[in-house]
Amino acid sequence: MSVLKMIYFAHGLAYPTLHQKLIKDPFYAWGWGPVEKKTYDTFKCYIANPITSPSGKTDDELENIEKDSKLTSFLDSLLPLAKINPFKLSEKSHEEGAPWAVTQPYDAIDDKIIEVYFNAKYGKK
């Protein structure tokens, strides 16, 4: 659950911070909050246990991320999210007016809604 929440918040916060889309695949309005299904499918075998192996991303993909110092700096800045209880992050993703809250259960969350919400909530004022 922590990984799914971190990915969602990283994706949303990338809009006001990096001014770009971070995750290409859609998020869905599942019961505990927004879920990117490919990540869920990759790590669901761990249930609530620690993840002990990489996701299978190729070395080329990881090297491309590492070459982008702005992206790596942004991702590093989000590491404190890993220390937050995932249920607290779930509460945050369920706030009134949040993309998950305005999407029908189990539907894809319109990425434009995520972009507008995060820009309005966390962008420069």
Q: Give me the pLDDT at residue 119, please.
A: 96
Q: Give me the pLDDT at residue 62, please.
A: 73
Q: What is the pLDDT of residues 47-104, one digit of tens each?
A: 888 888 777 665 667 777 888 899 999 999 999 988 999 889 999 999 999 999 999 9
**Per-residue pLDDT at 21 exceeds 90:** yes
**68 SS3 class:** coil
Q: Give me the pLDDT at residue 125, please.
A: 64
Closest CA to 23 of 107, 86, 34: 34
On average, the pLDDT of the chain sits at: 90
